[in-house]
Amino acid sequence: MVRAEAVHKRYGLLEVLRGITLEVAPREVMCLLGPSGSGKSTFLRCVNHLEKINSGRLYVDGSLVGYEERGGRLHELPEREVCRRRTEIGMVFQRFNLFPHMTALENVVEAPVLVKKEPRAVVTTRARALLDRVGLSNKVDAYPNQLSGGQQQRVAIARALAMQPKLMLFDEPTSALDPELVGEVLDVIRALAEDGMTMIVVTHEIGFAREVGDTLVFMDEGVVVESGVPREVLANPQHERTKAFLSKVL
């Protein structure tokens, strides 16, 4: 579903990604772990082309992200095409980023109607079902500022799912939450994994990575330090850097 080949990303002189190579299979849940500044979020943002990569190749569902290869050269994709591809990738942010001027239901309904031109009635039915699925059927008419952080994040997940994506990206979905609200969001993500959604989850929740992740990737300073089955990597880290990190967070 996602294939990265030696992906590099620079901001000016700062090299944030220094050759990321990894592959996410369909229905796989990959957890990205690592200290802050290691490039996890940047990599996630490259996958849906919120950031442009400087070198390497990044494929989602078999096609290059942001470019098209014709006659041996890369051509930038027009905005229309970049946006069409983004509709197939859902993203959930650390700070929720719900639209504050819309109710929970309007947040979920907005993009499928506006972007995919689906009939509003159809989308509304689907949106209500999604809000019900994330346990918020009694909050459909609430504005984001009337919801707790955990509730907002669950609306944000429903909003991403309403586009019926093939791939979900989670950028530290529980980092901005009060500890007691983390569970309700992780439960939703876990249920999604059980339904077979392909996901990349940047997280600091080691327990979640162990339980739900199919693969765990440990990143540091823009490279993949090690990866493998979460239980094995966590129990028996091979690299000093991984050991040092895990000894602090476990």
Q: Per rule CB under 8 A, is residue 167 in the interface with other proteins?
A: no
Question: In what helix (H) or strand (E) does residue 76 lie, and over which residues does it extend?
Answer: strand 73-76
Instruction: Give the one residue of 52, 95, 120, 239 binding other proteins; rule: CB under 8 A.
Output: 95
Q: Which stretch binds other proteins (CB under 8 A): 68-76, 129-137, 153-161, 221-229?
A: 153-161
Q: Which stretch binds other proteins (CB under 8 A): 94-102, 130-138, 208-216, 228-236?
A: 94-102
Question: In what helix (H) or strand (E) does residue 122 lie, and over which residues does it extend?
Answer: helix 120-133
Q: Per rule CB under 8 A, is residue 105 in the interface with other proteins?
A: no
Q: Per rule CB under 8 A, is residue 87 in the interface with other proteins?
A: yes
In the bound state with other proteins, the residue whose beta carbon lies nearer, of 178 and 232, is: 178
Instruction: Give the one residue of 7, 31, 32, 86 binding other proteins; rule: CB under 8 A.
Output: 86
Residues 6 or more apart from 208 whose CB is under 8 A from it? 31, 186, 189, 190, 201
Question: What backbone phi and psi angles, to 5 degrees, belong to 193?
Answer: -65, -40
Q: What is the CA radius of gyration of the chain?
A: 18
Q: Per rule CB under 8 A, is residue 147 in the interface with other proteins?
A: no
Q: Per rule CB under 8 A, is residue 59 in the interface with other proteins?
A: no
Q: Per rule CB under 8 A, is residue 11 in the interface with other proteins?
A: no
Dihedral sign of CA atoms 162, 168, 170, 174 in order? positive
Site string for other proteins, 35-54 (x = CB under 8 A): -------------x-x----
Question: In what helix (H) or strand (E) does residue 126 lie, and over which residues does it extend?
Answer: helix 120-133
Residues 6 or more apart from 29 whose CB is under 8 A from it? 193, 197, 198, 199, 201, 212, 213, 214, 215
* 3 state SS of 5: strand
Q: Which stretch binds other proteins (CB under 8 A): 64-72, 78-86, 178-186, 203-211?
A: 78-86
Q: Per rule CB under 8 A, is residue 173 in the interface with other proteins?
A: no
Range 110-129, binding other proteins (CB under 8 A): 110-111, 114-116
* 3 state SS of 49: coil
Tokens of 33: 């772990």
Question: In the complex, which residues of this chain contact other proteins (CB under 8 A)?
Answer: 48, 50, 79-80, 83-87, 89-91, 93, 95, 97-102, 110-111, 114-116, 143-145, 156, 159-160, 163
